[in-house]
Amino acid sequence: MRRPFAEFLRHASSRAFCYQLLVAGLALALVWLLVEQTGAELQTRGIRSGFAFLFEPAGFSIGESVLDFDAAQPYWRAFLVGVLNTLRVALAAIVLATVLGLCLGACSLTRNVLLRGLCRAYVEVFRNIPLLLQLLTWYFLLAEKLPSADAALNPLPGVFLSKSGLAFPWGGEVPAAGDFGIAGGGTVTPEFLALLLGLSGYGAAYLAEIVRAGILSVPRGQVDAAAALGMTPLQGLRAVVLPQALRLMIPPATNQFLNLTKNSSLAVAVGYPDLVSIANTSLNQTGQAAECISILMAVYLGLSLLTAAATGWYNRRQLRRGY
């Protein structure tokens, strides 16, 4: 009579699982050894280690925050503010970049020579200028070239744009110009706007190429069939071409979403208090570089995995629908 474990090892998949388990155990043991050695070395040198500092007062303020925060609150809340600020700009940039990239990619295939040329020119220019330079350019335009708050631009009713940022209707309140600037409504700072415009404009250039390639991958017969049914080019694009192209567009688009989220770490160049900026301030005050850097790595890894999981779920959903 065969032993259960020997029977288990007869299968190639079972042996592969055991090998993976062994490799994972060795990796965890190596990580544990490195952590122990690092902790012992730091203790020998009299350098404080561990994450207890997260519960100490931060001692610094944050200029822009979704949550209420002051210097007396602990470091962990400061890091939470940084995470929320990062998510705030990254999610908004992903949405704007997706919409703009979809429009640019579709219009780059139009028969209108002027529109097609403008879209191609946008892609080439924004894709080949470094993102950091684009961020600095946007920040210079917003912080230096716009009028002051008492002479703010008013492009739409209830919307004001000035060196102080963008004011817009929010929560039932409509901004209004007063003697001391703009009051009421919601506002975003020039730093946030510069980062949002830079990330979305840069990401849209790459997404436009993904959209263009996806549309071209759909057989021409599908386009002709849509036209034969009496659909306009726009209707055929929305109802026939794009649903089929999504299967090829989503995987490379996921990579761009991940890059966009990670590129938000350049916020420090324009003074936006994202996670990297707050971690850098905390590191300088506490001297606990390993802990602050590990928090950064863990958060960005988690955000990347969540983004990949969300787009993967959507892609599987599209495949189940038969597209």
Tokens 């350019």 -> residue: 137
pLDDT at 25: 85
Each residue's pLDDT tens digit in the chain (323 positions)?
A: 456 666 666 666 766 777 778 888 888 888 778 767 766 666 676 666 678 889 999 988 888 888 888 889 999 999 999 999 999 999 999 999 999 999 999 888 888 899 999 999 999 999 999 999 999 999 999 988 888 888 888 888 888 888 888 888 887 788 887 766 787 788 889 999 999 999 999 999 999 999 998 888 888 887 778 778 888 777 777 777 777 888 888 888 988 999 998 999 999 899 899 999 999 999 999 888 888 998 999 999 888 888 888 888 877 776 666 55
Task: Tell which residue, 101, 98, 89, has the closest CA to residue 311.
Answer: 98
At residue 176, the 3 state secondary structure works out as: strand
- DSSP string across 107-165: HTTSS-HHHHHHHHHHHHHHHHS-HHHHHHHHHHIIIIISPPGGG-EEEETTEEEETTE
8: Cβ contacts below 8 Å, ≥ 6 apart: 14
Give residue 130's identity as a one-letter amino acid code. Answer: P
Q: Model pTM?
A: 0.80
Biggest alpha carbon–alpha carbon distance for the chain? 93
Residue 198 in contact with residue 91, Cβ under 8 Å? no
Domain 75-320 has CATH 3.30.2270.10: no
pLDDT at 11: 67
pLDDT at 158: 84
Residues 181-192 pLDDT 10s: 787 788 889 999
Around Cβ 127, how many Cβ atoms within 10 Å? 14
pLDDT at 1: 45
Q: What is the domain partition of the chain in residue ranges? A: 75-320
Phi first, then psi, for residue 175 (nearest 5°) are -60, 150
